[in-house]
Chains A and B, each alone.
Chain A
Amino acid sequence: MLTMNEPADRLPGRAALARKVLPYALLSPAVLVTLAIVFFPMIQAAWMSLHDYILWKPKDFTFVGLKNFTAALQDEVFWISLRHTIIWIAVTIPAQLLLGLATALLLNQQFPWRPLARALIIIPWALPSVVIALMWVWIYDANYGILNEFMLRLGLIKASVPWLADPDTALYAIILTLTWQGFPFFAVMILAGLQSIPKSYYEAASLDGAGALRQFWHITLPGISGVLVTAVLLRTIWVANSIDVIYVMTGGGPGYATYTLPLYAFIKARTNLDFGYGSSLAVLFTLMLLGLVIVYLRRAGRSVN
């Protein structure tokens, strides 16, 4: 008689085969879809990056080795975009994290209408990026924008500032928009983390005479560190790759003032139709981001453990 514990190799032929094949069969749809829509285009992009491939010259697909990559490293716009990308990630993520942490701590308190506040806080995250971008374009507008009106009335500025048309402010104006859009993600994740910390820890700590700050440092932070590491990782990847808000708000302008690397790759490929060069930019950026993620996981993973 067969029992569930019996090893597969002792089963009669067909049943054994079925048991071996079943897991693969169940997995295969997901794997095949991933291969087709993620892996295949990735390989294709890497392959294209080694060629001269301009879309309106479809007959010309010449292998050029690493020419596109060396060209990128000598390209002024590549370095400008890289610098902007670093600022983009280094300012947006900490800003979103701190704002999200503060919001989560507030929402974790007892107060009337708390469920409503929790629901409202998610709105920026739930809105489509294009809507957010257009909304903020109007807020920043130099002629009619509410931000200029507000600051003029408070006497903070003397003349309207064209926030998005000035190369010194454009990138930071978009970063503020993205911070506003993304902080609810952190707030919600951290809130979930906070609620998994048993109340008894805090009771014990206060019996031992620990103040609010020490409780936060020794109980709250370690309690949510796992959530933080994951949330920061996810957000870094998303923010690094996100071009929709920039594209709608300035299209990269004025000049190259709001170019980031993914946007530069997109414009090169989609507008200039230079898919070879565009792909090489994308490949370069992927490698850099991969490096960043590996370093981050090693360091953050170690400190959490």
Chain B
Amino acid sequence: MSKLISAALAVGLLAGTATAYADETVRFWYHFDNADNPMSELVAKFEKENPGIKIEAENIPWNSYYDNLYTSIVAGNAPDAAMVKMFAQPRLVEMGALEPIGDRIDAWDGKADLQDNLLNLTKASDGKSYYLPIQYVVLYLYYRQDMIEELGLEVPKTCDEFRDVAMKLTRDTDGDGQPDVYGFGFRGGKGGHDHWGSFVLSRNVDFSAGSLTSDAGVAGTQWVVDLFEKDKVFPPSAPNDGFKEVTGAFKAGKTAMTIHHIGSSNGMVEALGDAVSATPVPECGGGHWTSFGDESTAVFSTAENKDAAWKWISFLSTAGNNTEFNKATGQLPVTKTDSEGWTLHEKRFVDATVQSLPFANLLPNVPETSDFVNTVWPVNMQRALTGEITAEQMNAEIDKLYNP
């Protein structure tokens, strides 16, 4: 027993001294869907350029990324730097977990090469900068060009047109009395608030008190519920469907339209070729809203080597390296240099993204948004879709979350 303890102590001491000498280690958390690890090349390049700094990059599964991040912070075991999204920023700031990096960004050579407005979008509500943008996407409407042409339809520009087209695209192709193709693949599970947002938040509705519960707000949610219950243009599994199901059904030809971003375009083209195209989401109730998909990196306040951590994250947002990073994630680079020569996605998807930028929005920069995204929206949308609650009750629940 005592031998064991002394052995453990010895190992602990050794480990302690080891980290003490190699004190330029940066622990970095990220999430890639891509199973083969493309981070290793960037790490190798960085370590070659910055001798003495070692990067320990860890790919954390997306489904529990933030659960793990928050718990690690409370447990005092946070990474030194990590990939982070805007919706998590208010909580991370509240926890005191982030290191302000405004001064470092100002002094950084790469600042001028960042796309306009990105630094403003990622600024915290206290006016400080904690995030350095690393990639972005904008959600748009995917549609089956071939099916639209086959039926002699027009690509929908408004919600009314969208409903009409979706109903016509929902058809029984093999004559068994069952629809084989559904007009729209709606994401009723976690993450589907982007779909709902395009149909509801476009109607000059927001999260301020009484806005969602207004006639326009309720009409928006009711319109979504009716698409499912009355018009039956979503697959029956829509209430539970997540990213995997929605993109899978679209690629398999089970749905004719869906909403996602450029990150899935290469996979879509691989499955469908020229039959798939994209356009901005429809305009509903006189307004236009789509979701801006942000991704930044941040340095954590508990990082032992903040300089090294900053060097690493700024390296990732520098022209050239940012292309390599986005090759792995399939999203769009944040530097002007990389954007100009961008050839990794087909032009029609880049065009749809750029056309959508003027009305792309982030969800409110408040702590409640995490609960909205993770539980309140999915649970209430599912209950509304399955008829357990009304559209009005659903909007009231969201209103209650943001305006208690």
Residues on A facing B (Cβ under 8 Å): 29, 55-58, 141-143, 158-162, 164-167, 250-257, 267, 270-273
Assembled-state Cα–Cα distance A164/B190 (Å): 15
Q: Determine if B70 and A254 form an interchain contact, defined as CB atoms under 8 angstroms apart.
A: no
With A143-B249, A255-B383, A271-B374: A250-B240 Cβ-Cβ less than 8 Å: yes
B183 near A: Cβ within 8 Å? no
B149 near A: Cβ within 8 Å? no
Cβ contact of A164, chosen from B94, B177, B237, cutoff 8 A:
B237
- Which residues does chain B contribute within 8 Å of A254, judged by CB atoms? 188, 239-240, 382-383, 385-386
- Which residues does chain A contribute within 8 Å of B67, judged by CB atoms? 270-271
Q: How far is the CB of A77 from chain B (nearest CB, A)?
A: 9
Q: Determine if B379 and A56 form an interchain contact, defined as CB atoms under 8 angstroms apart.
A: no
B151 near A: Cβ within 8 Å? no
- Which residues does chain A contribute within 8 Å of B238, judged by CB atoms? 165
B254 near A: Cβ within 8 Å? yes
Q: Determine if A159 and B188 form an interchain contact, defined as CB atoms under 8 angstroms apart.
A: no
Interface residues in B357-400 by Cβ distance below 8 A to A read 367, 371, 374-375, 378-380, 382-383, 385-386, 388-389
Q: Could you tell me how many residues of chain B have their Cβ less than 8 Å away from some Cβ of chain A?
A: 37
Among A141, A159, A161, A271, max chain B CB count under 10 A is at A271
Q: Determine if B94 and A57 form an interchain contact, defined as CB atoms under 8 angstroms apart.
A: yes
Cβ contact of A255, chosen from B236, B241, B379, cutoff 8 A:
B379
Q: How far is the CB of A126 from chain B (nearest CB, A)?
A: 25
Query: Quick one: closest B residue to A267, CB to CB?
Result: B375
Q: How far is the CB of A218 from chain B (nearest CB, A)?
A: 49
- Which residues does chain B contribute within 8 Å of A267, judged by CB atoms? 375
Assembled-state Cα–Cα distance A90/B188 (Å): 30
- Which residues does chain A contribute within 8 Å of B235, judged by CB atoms? 142-143, 162
Q: How far is the CB of B367 from chain A (nearest CB, A)?
A: 7
Assembled-state Cα–Cα distance A58/B301 (Å): 15
- Which residues does chain A contribute within 8 Å of B236, judged by CB atoms? 142, 159-162, 165-166
Query: Quick one: closest A residue to B249, CB to CB?
Result: A143
Cβ contacts A to B, 22 pairs, < 8 Å: A55-B71, A56-B91, A56-B95, A57-B94, A58-B74, A58-B95, A141-B237, A142-B235, A159-B178, A162-B239, A165-B236, A165-B241, A165-B386, A167-B388, A251-B190, A253-B189, A253-B239, A253-B382, A254-B239, A255-B383, A267-B375, A272-B371
